[in-house]
Amino acid sequence: MPIRNASQRIGRTGERAVESLIDDHPRWVARRQDSDFGIDLEAELADPGPDGQVLRGQLIKLQIKAGATPAPSGAHVAVAVERAWLDYACQFRVPVILVATTADGQQAWWVWAQAWALVNERRLADARGKTITLRAPIAQTLTAGLDHDLADIAAGRHPVAMVLALRGVLAVAHGWENAAIAQGIVELLGRTDYPSRDWTIRMIVDQMTAAGSNIMHWQAQHYLPVMLALVRTAGDVLAAEDVVHLVKRGVSHSRVGIQALGALYDAWPDHALALGLPQAFAKAQLAPAAWYAAMRERFPGQHPFGMFIANQPEDDLTHDGVTLRLDPGVRDYLRAKWPSRGDSVMLDCLTAASA
């Protein structure tokens, strides 16, 4: 004989309680998801009117976890979910709300899954388990949320909604094929203060350098406006390893990476100085990039830097066994090539100091 077990009964009780709570609210309409693939209910925001509710087309999706109990400290309710479900929830373009209810369905708390993942991206990147525990503050009840926070989330007024929307548009500009859009979105993300901002910027660095060392010159130039926008608006969050990652291509450096490095020294000179980049590049066996960073720190505040170097008196500029010999031929070469190649043209002229 088929058996309905206790967990199934508790789950159905929780779903009915949440559905009733939402549908009885004057500003919400609840709909069951008959085929449950990780979403139990859909709720739509509505405006009360003389003839009923005027639907607004602003939705949230809900997954119900019944049988939750507050932690002994009373500070939160812990809800364990499969990592695969959280990854799935983060693919939605509408908010996905995880609701935890008591076994009798009389109390319910909520967590916005995508916002939780945004704040905890670093933890998620390191996590290897099949389950993840989310914690809802004990004061974050579903009843109160329907009145205020959940309405703002459905309407897109919550601060996190803007960040998720920007990241969604950035994903649409896949492969940086629409560089103008990608540049604008990166600038907005760089200028916006939000949880996980640093992590987001580093993810963009990873995406821009994922093409590897064999990228064509025209492709690299396609990335350049995006990379410069990233550095100029959010260079203050880059660590030394991020900058090395931007510059390094295989066993050498990229011209686009050197231009980004120059933008970092122009826009964030104090931060760049604090990173110890000459030493970081030397450790990465990028002697030309180490030379460039050392020169930027030897002659701070000079812009455009390549032209400043080209106009220096005839001399050798040396750092850690690498030198730029400023004879008349090199100066003429720098002046001719700098407008099209930027500061990276200096690195083309470097020789061993002992040569």
Q: Which residue has the higher pLDDT, 42 or 121?
A: 42
Q: In the prediction, which pLDDT does 322 show?
A: 94
Which residue stretches of the chain are H helix? 6-23, 83-89, 113-119, 121-126, 142-147, 149-155, 159-172, 179-191, 197-208, 217-234, 240-247, 255-267, 269-274, 277-283, 287-298, 305-310, 328-341, 344-348
pLDDT band at 22 (very low <50, low <70, confident <90, very high): very high
Q: Within a domain: residue 285?
A: no
Q: Within a domain: residue 267?
A: no
CATH of the domain at 14: 3.40.1350.10
Which residue type occupies 300? P
Q: In the prediction, which pLDDT does 218 show?
A: 42
Q: Which residue has the higher pLDDT, 212 or 299?
A: 299
Mean pLDDT of 142-171: 85
Q: In the prediction, which pLDDT does 67 show?
A: 85
Residue 5 has pLDDT above 80, yes or no: no
* CA 92 vs CA 34, 65, 289: distances in Å: 18, 19, 42
pTM of the model: 0.65
Q: In the prediction, which pLDDT does 3 show?
A: 52
pLDDT band at 54 (very low <50, low <70, confident <90, very high): confident
**51 is in which domain, residue-wise?**
6-155
Q: In the prediction, which pLDDT does 245 show?
A: 85
Q: Within a domain: residue 54?
A: yes
Name the domain count of the chain: 1
- The span from the CA of 257 to the CA of 226, in Å, is 12
Residue 257 has pLDDT above 80, yes or no: yes
Residue 217 has pLDDT above 50, yes or no: no
Mean pLDDT of the chain: 84
Q: Within a domain: residue 309?
A: no
- Is 90:114 a contact under the CB 8 Å cutoff? yes
- The span from the CA of 252 to the CA of 17, in Å, is 62
Q: Within a domain: residue 101?
A: yes
Q: Within a domain: residue 126?
A: yes
CA 341, 344, 346, 351 dihedral sign is: negative
Q: Within a domain: residue 318?
A: no
Q: In the prediction, which pLDDT does 335 show?
A: 92
Residue 95 has pLDDT above 90, yes or no: yes
Mean pLDDT of 274-284: 96
Residue 9 has pLDDT above 80, yes or no: no
Q: Within a domain: residue 298?
A: no
